[in-house]
Copies of this chain bind each other. A is one copy, B any other.
Amino acid sequence: MGYSIAIDAMGGDGAPQVVFDGIAEFIKTHPDTKANFLVFGQENLVKPFLIPSLAKHVTIHNAEEVVTGETKPAAAVRMGRKTSMAMAIDAVNNGMAEAVVSAGNTGAFMALSKIILKTFEGIDRPAIPALIPSDKGCTLVLDLGANIECSAENLVQFAVMGSVYMRTLMNIAEPSVGILNVGSEDLKGNQVVQAAANFLRDHPLVNFYGFVEGDDITKATVDVVVTDGFTGNIVLKAIEGTVRLFARQLKKSLSENVLSKLGALIAQPSLASFKRFVDPRLYNGAMFLGLRKIVIKSHGGTDGVGFATAIKVADELVQRNVILDLQAGLEGIQ
Contact = CB atoms under 8 A, between A and B. Distances in A.
A214 B189 contact: no
A135 B117 CA distance: 43
A70 B259 contact: no
Interface in A266-310: 266-271, 273-274, 277
Given A234-B231, A270-B263, A245 B133 contact: yes
Interface residues of A, number: 63
**A interface secondary structure, majority:** helix
Given A230-B182, A230-B190, A135 B265 contact: no
A238 B263 contact: no
Contacts of A187: 70, 72
A274 B253 contact: yes
Contact of A242 (B181, B182, B242, B267): B242
A260 B249 contact: no
Interface stretch (A84-92, A93-101, A152-160, A215-223): A215-223
Nearest to A268: B263
Contacts of A259: 266-267, 269
A17 interface: no
Count of identical protomers in the assembly:
2
A91 to B, nearest CB: 27
Contacts of A264: 263, 267
A181 B235 CA distance: 11
A271 to B, nearest CB: 6
A70 B237 CA distance: 33
Interface in A64-90: 69-70, 72
A102 interface: no
Given A135-B245, A249-B274, A256-B270, A148 B234 contact: no
Given A245-B133, A259-B266, A213 B237 contact: yes
Given A182-B229, A270-B256, A270-B257, A135 B248 contact: yes
Nearest to A149: B190
Nearest to A300: B183
Interface in A146-190: 148-149, 180-182, 185, 187, 189-190
A262 interface: yes
A72 B245 CA distance: 38
Interface of A: 69-70, 72, 133-135, 145, 148-149, 180-182, 185, 187, 189-190, 213-219, 227, 229-231, 233-246, 248-250, 253-254, 256-257, 259-260, 262-271, 273-274, 277
Given A69-B185, A189-B230, A214-B240, 15 more contacts: A70-B185, A70-B187, A182-B234, A216-B241, A218-B238, A218-B241, A238-B242, A239-B239, A242-B242, A249-B277, A253-B274, A259-B269, A262-B266, A263-B266, A263-B270
13 contacts: A182-B230, A182-B234, A215-B238, A215-B240, A218-B238, A218-B245, A238-B238, A242-B242, A249-B274, A253-B270, A257-B270, A260-B269, A267-B267
